[in-house]
A and B are shown apart, each in its own frame.
Chain A
Amino acid sequence: MTIQATTLADNKGIKISINERFDFSLHQQFRDTYQNCNDNGAEFTLDLSNTTYMDSSALGMILLLKDHADKLSGKVVISKPNEAVNKILEIAQFHRLMPIEA
């Protein structure tokens, strides 16, 4: 599986892990992971530690996730992007929109 979603122990959110390429082909799958999580204040952790490549559609998909989280007064945290992926996040200045944890 390229995408794995784990519900956090306290039931207060989801950890979404993405392996290898994060691009438009994952669009539907990615949405499916969070669409049914409607708990108020939910925290979505996007684990990119195994993501090797990310394109601009992926940035768009993260923004859609953020939109979803904002509606629930929740938040999105990006976790452990590698150097190449971090460069893309940096160019898009995503650290101004959500926390990025090394």
Chain B
Amino acid sequence: MTPFAMKKDIKLALVVDDSPMQCKVLGVLLKEEGYRVFTANDGARGVDMYIKYKPDLVLMDINMPVMNGYEAARKIKSFSQTSLCPLIFITSMDSDQAFIESIDAGGDGILVRPFSPEVFKAKIKSIQRISDLYGQVKRLQQEQQQDAELAEQLMSGVIESRNYALDRIGIVKKPAALFSGDIQLTALSPNGDINILLGDFTGHGLRSSIGAIPLSETFRAMTKKGFSLLEIIAQVNRQLHNLLPPDLFLGAAFVTISSHDSTAYIFNAGLPDCYIYNGVGEIKHKILSSHPPMGVLPTLIGSTKPHVVVVEETDRIVLISDGIVEARNDVGEMFEFERFEEATKQGVLAGNISESVLDAVNEFCQNMPQEDDISLIDIPCSGWQQTFTVSNVSEDTLINSRKQKINAESPAWTWKLKLTGKRLAEINPIPMAMSQIQDIEGNAEHWQSLFTILTELFVNSLDHGVLGLSSDLKNSPEGFVEYFTERDSRLQQLDNGFVDIELNYFPFDLGGKLVVKILDSGTGFDHRKKHSFSQHELNDKVQLCGRGIELVKQLCESMDYYDGGRAVEAAYVWSS
């Protein structure tokens, strides 16, 4: 549909002249050009007629009673700021002064008498051509503005409205232009961990927001499938490198808050320092940028890994883009980190970091125009523990399950994966297993519990079985970091060892059962001993019956170790 359809066919002209004779002559010429003509005999009346008829063209005499042509032109132009209504002065005053004053008063041209009808018509045509062009530009500009607003609405709809836990995570977003180059994403992973991203694309406006859609899709899809933070970072980097031109990239901070132990994983690639504040507003950690921005290099630098930080319940993680610290006041000073840190401290104490920082920035900048996108994410470190709905399996399903145990030899399908050596160190099999299950059986709510079961069992087999790590290290904050450092170094040196995963699926009439078997190449442990542990064995006991395994036991119908503790079998049953 064309917006030009509404355009009226007959153009209106207004002739303002105190000589009825002149009005008549000009009127005849204009009618020959297809105009409908109105006349007024003084400036004031001319203004009234202009307001009443909104003509497409005004012809104006200069010397008139009541209100002269200059004054009338000024008034008319003040009413027609949004549309160009061309106004031509018709005069016998052939002087530079008259010409200059005419243009000053807002006239778009001047015609000096005497002139031939042909010259008059030519002038009208030329002025109408300019006016039409102006109208076109105006319409195009409006259309473009509308398109841009729609695109922006869609984009922020796709990107931000799907963010997770907006009631608990504080997000400040103040774009400098219609499109923001800054992006804030939050998503829930299947095991209850929260992934958060604050990104800052080069520049601002449409050009810089174009990468936002693929970025948010990747971030969400991979989080949902349970990929680790590092895997997500690697993929985001690869994707942006492939998609974007070399001078367009994304400074970004990535955070994972664990839902079941007090840790946060933080990775900063090209953003200002990430902060961790404690409950009384002191800075506990700053995580500096340790990698070029996403999309600069084809792959991540080899040794890249997120920082592992132990957090307390009252801690808050605060991410910012450079727009806040580089905001300028009227004498050109920048807001800087010192003011930001103070405002954040006050915010922690007052229980509202976003508001406190934003108020401080606004007060500092007063009415200075905003040069860059401003954004901040404030993440609480507690309250993410998941409440699993354990054992909501109906009696019928359980009976069914027991009956069908006879058929346990013949599952509907079996999926196996054995990872060894280097591949075991590099590949995360859980998203593959989950995607296999979802591909065959469709998406369902209860797969979330299964994800937790698979993750816990696999990580146990890898960490404690293959890598021989003892989880008593994790009892202290220092030990926690040490545990992950040791884990990384053992993983890097891993060249033999394996983990064997097998899934067997048994459908019931109302639900089903999935049996998970995981076998590792470790030395196992004595799973039958219940009492009288040696100190060493006690440590093993702690690690194997840690929170993770307790959780698995609660979620499963049964879970048993065998083969000297090297193998585990867990049966997960659900009703639909």
| Residue A8 interfacial (CB < 8 Å) | no
Give which listed residue, A57, A92, A97, contacts B203 with CB less than 8 A: A57
Assuming A56-B251, A93-B292, what are 5 further A-B pairs, CB within 8 angstroms? A57-B247, A66-B246, A91-B271, A92-B296, A96-B291
Tell me, rounded to whole Å, the shortest Cβ–Cβ distance linking B293 to chain A. Answer: 6
| Residue B494 interfacial (CB < 8 Å) | no
Query: A-B pairs with the 7 shortest C-beta distances?
Result: A60-B247, A93-B292, A91-B289, A56-B202, A60-B202, A64-B247, A67-B246
Is the beta-carbon distance between B290 and A93 smaller than 8 angstroms?
yes
Q: Which A residue's beta carbon lies closest to that of B181?
A: A56
A11-33 CB contacts (< 8 Å) to partner B: 24
Q: Which B residues lie within 8 Å of A59 (CB)?
A: 202, 249, 293
Say yes or no: A92-B293 contact (C-beta < 8 A), given A56-B200, A59-B202.
yes
Give 1 or 0 for each of A34-63: 1 = CB within 8 Å of chain B CB: 000000000000000000000011011101
Tell me, rounded to whole Å, the shortest Cβ–Cβ distance linking A89 to chain B. Answer: 10
Q: How far does the alpha carbon of A92 sit from the alpha carbon of B268 in the complex, in Å?
A: 10
B272-310 CB contacts (< 8 Å) to partner A: 272, 289-293, 296-297, 301
Is the beta-carbon distance between B301 and A96 smaller than 8 angstroms?
yes
Is the beta-carbon distance between A93 and B203 smaller than 8 angstroms?
no
Q: How far does the alpha carbon of A94 sit from the alpha carbon of B297 in the complex, in Å?
A: 11
Q: Which B residue's beta carbon lies closest to that of A88?
A: B322
Interface centre among A56, A64, A92, A96 (most CB of B within 10 A): A56
Q: How far does the alpha carbon of A82 sit from the alpha carbon of B466 in the complex, in Å?
A: 50
Q: How far does the alpha carbon of A93 sit from the alpha carbon of B304 in the complex, in Å?
A: 13
Q: How far does the alpha carbon of A9 sit from the alpha carbon of B272 in the complex, in Å?
A: 40
| Residue B269 interfacial (CB < 8 Å) | yes
Is the beta-carbon distance between A92 and B247 smaller than 8 angstroms?
no
Q: How far does the alpha carbon of A12 sit from the alpha carbon of B526 in the complex, in Å?
A: 70
| Residue A101 interfacial (CB < 8 Å) | no
Q: What size tier do the contact residues of chain A reach?
A: 10 to 19
Q: Which A residues lie within 8 Å of B270 (CB)?
A: 91-93
Question: Could you jot down 12 A-B contacts, CB within 8 Å?
Answer: A56-B203, A59-B293, A60-B202, A60-B249, A61-B247, A63-B247, A63-B249, A91-B272, A92-B289, A93-B270, A93-B290, A97-B292
Give which listed residue, A60, A90, A92, A96, contacts B248 with CB less than 8 A: A60
Is the beta-carbon distance between B271 and A97 smaller than 8 angstroms?
no
Give which listed residue, A24, A60, A93, A96, contacts B246 with CB less than 8 A: A60
Q: Which A residue's beta carbon lies closest to that of B289?
A: A91
Tell me, rounded to whole Å, the shortest Cβ–Cβ distance linking B336 to chain A. Answer: 11
Q: Which A residues lie within 8 Å of B301 (CB)?
A: 96
Q: How far does the alpha carbon of A57 sit from the alpha carbon of B371 in the complex, in Å?
A: 13
Give 1 or 0 for each of A77-95: 1 = CB within 8 Å of chain B CB: 0000000000000111110
Q: Which B residue's beta carbon lies closest to that of A70?
A: B246
Q: How far does the alpha carbon of A98 sit from the alpha carbon of B202 in the complex, in Å?
A: 19
Q: Which B residue's beta carbon lies closest to that of A64?
A: B247
Is the beta-carbon distance between A64 and B246 smaller than 8 angstroms?
yes
